Structure 1
Amino acid sequence: MGSTHQFHTDSSPLDYDDASTYRSLVGGMQYLTFTRPDLSFAVNYPQPGPPALAESLARVLATRSTNPVWAPLPRRAPPSPLSDGGLADAVVSLRDPDLALALLSWSRSHSGSRHHDADKLPPPTPIAHSALLRLLARSGRFDAVDSTLQDMSLSGVAPTSACLGELVAAYADAGIERKATEMCERVRAQYGMLPAAIHSNCLLRLLVERRQWDDAHKLYDKMLAKEGGADDYSTCVMVRGLCLEGRVEKGVKLIEARWGAGCVPNAVFYNVLIDGYCRRGDMGRGLLLLGEMEMKGILPTVVTYGTLMSWLGRKGDLEKVTYLLSEMRERRLSPNIEIYNSVIDALCKCRSAPQAMVVLKQIFASDCDPDAITFSTLISGLCREGRVQEAERLLREAIRREVNPNLFCYTSLIHGFCIRGQVMDASNLLMEMMERGYTPDVVTFGALIHGLVVAGQVSEALLVREKMTARQLLPDANIYNVLISGLCKKHMLPAARNLLAEMLEQNVHPDKFVYTTLIDGFIRNESLDEARKVFEFMEQKGVRLDVVGYNAMIKGYCQFGMLDEAIVCMNNMRKVRCIPDEFTYSTLITGYVKQGNMGGALRLLCEMTKRRCQPNVVTYSSLINGYCKLGDTDTAEDIFASMQLEGLFPNVITYTILIGSLFKKDKAMKAAAYFEHMLINHCAPSDITLHCLVTGLTNCMACIVSSNCSGTVKMHDKGALLDIFRGLVNGNWDPGNAAYNAIIFSLCRHNMLGNALDIINKMANKGYSPDSVTFIALLYGFCSVGKSRDWRSILPNEFRQDQLEIASRYKILFDQYVAKSVGCEVSSALRLYLEERRSLKQMEHKFTCS
């Protein structure tokens, strides 16, 4: 009541005197309330509406734990109790469930004291207590929900259907499936209907997430049977769940069952279907749905493009990702940071970090702000490509932009620095990471250890492991595997064995990779007994090796000539359903070849093909080697031809075996032809190949010089090796130098300049010095690759006049085997060199005369 209110006795206002009297009365009453707080509460509390009522009661109830005289204050309320609706409004306006509980508890006790049976509380009020249940459910106070429901049930008071629906949603959102289902059934039992769609959808979503498909379909069918019981979101939940399991066709049928065949209602459903197809690897179907959207006039959204680009990026299809990004911009759809991150991730996976940096610049120019994922993806990509310095600069840029780098950023950089041998930089980053509040985890230490092992610093990696255990972080199987592998490569086998024992003590179960690494390490160090012990111990522990582990053991047996044991090991593979692969058979065939048992090797080859296991290059090379050792080069050549018919490219070992064997059989022309074939396929010769060539040419010198090994044919239809060697030997050149120069020229004419330059040092190590012919042969190489101006910085340029004349004489021979343009370019380079030399001599002469 206020003193400014107008009072009326009937439909007309009070006259002046009456109004003054009433205002005086009201003023006196207000004075009493100002001076007497107990009267203030009793007078003012019951009159306002529910929100103000709740606020007033909340102030009083909030002090109940600290104010010993709080209880009498609410009792001074007026005789008329609050209605159920008024109490409900009061509860709704309160945020604190404890206050709401206290309010309704007080209300019930206050109402009970007004009845004759004061010891018995009145039953809960349905509307107010339903509001209380909602508040408790939203606050996650499910224990109080249960007790309130029990109290209401004992009193025969039912919560409202809307309240029970909200309880269904609350229990479902909290993941309490059983309670949510019970509440849903309670609504059906008490009100003969399902909860509202918005509440039923929560339970439906939970059932789908937990793959409870039978229950989900039952609930969905019941929702469809009720008018308005299922909405678009209900169907979308079901379709999304099916798509996540790869059952996209069932999701499509669900859509068609509701809206008709071939009808997808909107972009949301298209996005779900596109994600489903892409998730199971059917990118083509996802792209077709994008086209179908456009045909039906449904505009693709940012989510549509983002979904497609994300999955295409994971597959490394940069072309389609780039196309979709440009199409998106044409539609004036602004890519969000998630889409940009997908593009960057795709580029980094394809080792195109520079292009990813271009995308980052586009992000800087747009309204998008890069996040921690953007920087971590780029930093990881740059480190994988060895561009660690750029990655570190990007880390500093992230910090400058106040983007807090995540643990993954530092882990990638630490690993990158370690691989490059920059251990100090990696340690500094580790310290910086810890200063920024990140605690190194197993992944961080694992990256540091792996980087050190790759860099060959196994001892430092072991020290890091000790620091790791000091921090109460136990290495996992991957870290042990890396360390054991590094120790085996360093021939530190006792330490590797001790690490295996430590793993078992720490209850870190070694996996098949750890055992395979140890077995392979012992075999490489010719410790077959130790490898066998590890193999048998692994079988006792019930660890099932894969084909790689069995191949390592078979390799060991074959290496020591124990072919019977190797065959038994292969048979044991089959018993445990581990199928031998081409490496298994190739290893065994190599073992038989080493023993000269070509019959056994051929039997294995037949078995290999019967089991539809394709022989590889190693298989064919082993057979070629076997026949060459027997002196049967004709059969070896037949196998070489069969190998090519199978679409396999010979490697340097295959060529070296044939070339060396043919030279031994004085078949220099065939050996030279295989060397030419080798260079045409850009297969670089190894040191053993060079040894076979030089030895073969010098040993067959008489045959090569006396016979015309090659006639005059078109360029590249014949090998230059024998003609150049013969020409140099006939010019009284040392046979060794002649062989090396012929090989160098052959490499240069096939644009293999780098390999030719490598031979220079190898010549010196063998006691041969590069000469003017070596110079001109390399000059052909520079001109063949378009670097005619670069030879000065690499080749010596001081020759005597007679040496230059010799070089010019052999140029005529060399020109027969190169393109005319290359020969002209060499002539120009020589002419320019001679002019410069002549000018230099004239200047020296003038200086001497002066």
Structure 2
Amino acid sequence: MGTANPPVLSHLQPPPDLLRLVDALCASGRAAEAHHRVSLLLLLSPASRVDARAANTLLLRLLRARTPFLTLRLVQAATLVPSLPNHNRLLALLCRADPPPVPVLLAHRLHLRMRVAPDAASYAALLDGYARVPDPCAARKLLDEMPGRGLVPSSLARSFLVKAFLRARDVDAAMDLVDNNLWPIMTDTDGYQQLGEDQEVTNAAFANLVQCLCAEGLFHIIFRIAEEMPQRRWNVVDEFAYAQMIDSLCRAGQHHGASRIVYIMRKRGLCPSAVSYNCIIHGLCTSPKPGACLRAHQLVMEGMRFGYRPREVTYKVLVDELCRENEIAKAKDVLELMLQPTIECGQDNGGDAGDGTRTRIYNVFLGALRAVDNPSEQLAVLVSMLQAGCKPDVITMNTVIHGFCKSGRAQEARRILDDMLNGKFCAPDVVTFTTLISGYLDAGDHVEALNVLHTLMTRRRCSPTVVTYNCVLKGLFGLGQVDTAMQVLEEMNANNVAADSVTHTVVIKGLCDVGQLEKAKELWDNVIWPSGIHDDYVYSAIFRGLCKQNKLEQACDFLYELVDCGVAPSVVCYNILIDAACKQGLKKLAYQLVKEMKRNGLAPDAVTWRILGKLHHYEEDEQEGHQLPAADVGQSPADDRVRVEPPVLTKEMALLPPLLSSENAFEVNESNSTAEIEEEAGYLTDMTNNNKAEAEDGCSTKMTVEELPDNTHPTRGTSINKGDNMTLGDGLKKPDNQPLIREPLYRVAKQVFGIL
């Protein structure tokens, strides 16, 4: 009778569902929950534990979330032995965490407690961390420790010591290390000296050195290295070295310095790569420095000597900047440069591909000419395009028509459209008609605009889109043709063209501007709200229209009704109401709106604090004895306030209004409660802190208000349950039953820190 063998505990592999769950949680920013679920699996009974390979698989997925402190806590709690690659990844994440000192010390402690032998990558991660601190002494000790572990310090490891010296502003020690001890030299059997490491490591060390110098602003050392080329002694190829310098300088925003490297290369008979040259030219075109685009044009023209041709993206940015600087002749030179190789390619490979590319290049140039605001230039380019045998497409014609309409010459744009209809050019599309309609409306000729909409488009069997109707509605409301605009809206519904949020915003704004609030209310109740297509632009138009007609109470009721129906208005909507309350002197209502904003999960922005700052500035002027005109806002005598016009901010005025003195800072009406006084004092403190931060950041003193979206933007609708019934009518203001209670500072400190 045999004895039964004891059961063997089978180590569990991580379930595939768990791996997918961890990946999904980490990708969605819920790394803490992912770590918690993995810890539940790793801390189970020994019979259910996963093996080391499965645990490292889970650990690798957690490391991808880049939350090193959570991962370190899990490793320590589960007594998990990470593999060497995972260990190095965790060290690197800790050393790159902010702020540098504490995470680097945690990484060093983890390094000392390693159960596996560290390698060069482990020391490289720690050296990079101490270089970020910076702590050159600790980095040097780590380098001295490497031979005892059987590791030879490479040039890449020494480059981190150079980085530590540079960040510590010890440039002499850093350069002495570069000149003497950065790259190890070995002697072969024949007595010749040669580099004692792999060439890829040497190149990585040189790249790290150049990046460190650029990050610390030591560009003169970069130029000295480019002139002397000391890296030749360590077999760093010149092309690689110059390309790395150009890349690092461009990343640091020193595109003029990168162009200097190009001149050094050309002096030595070397040609930069197309990638490096494109980076320099593209960076110069987008640089805010004056004359940068002219330098880019100079480089492009000089690049013709070694066969350089810009990419189409770089070409577009360059001609855009040149036309914006009114350098039309130079932009035409770039156009000719782009056309030359394309024509040769078209002759070699067939006319169709070449014609398509040339048409696209011409279209880019025509689009850039819109900045000049001279459609005659666009017309001249169109003529030269025809003379060169290049056939314009509908984008070409639409660009030319848009140029004439933008400058107010809609009749000339109409003649071009007639030529398209007569077959001289390609057939027009809906964008062509929409552009011409917008041009007529901008010129004030709504009759011709409607003629194009109802006659030409119908004759060509071209159905208008929602963008076309949005342009018509916006233009008609701007010209005061409210009845005609409403007829067009009915026609739009009859043609089964679905309105978007832009349509609703245009109509609401147009009706509120002419004071027809009842029509706006009816449109909201019967059309906009049941459709579920409304966003913050629609809400802002309603709030702005009500406040413009001194209907602040109705605007507040509408805000509370939106919140009750599950809609979350943006900060801009609250700012409109707060600004209206401050202009009417209703300080209590303004702070109540701020409190409502915070309760709904929104933080006041710089505009909010600036509006409240103006309110206290008005009160301070009143207390100093200024005679300000009173305004009747239909309030009870207990709530009467002073209505003043906001002062015009000038450069001579202070950026922020002074706070009230201690004697009058908390002067309120007799009806105000103690809680309201504390609440207002708290808001004053928050406003001061926000205004200080804003002043230090150099924020603009111009108050911005959300503008009407462009007609070409897609619909931004808010999905609302159509069963809800919400109206814009008058209603009682929702009472505020949740006052903000502020505890004393010593109680807060005691709860948080356990002191006092």
Q: Same fold (TM over 0.5)?
A: no
Q: TM-score, normalised by structure 1?
A: 0.37
- Larger Rg computed on CA atoms: 1
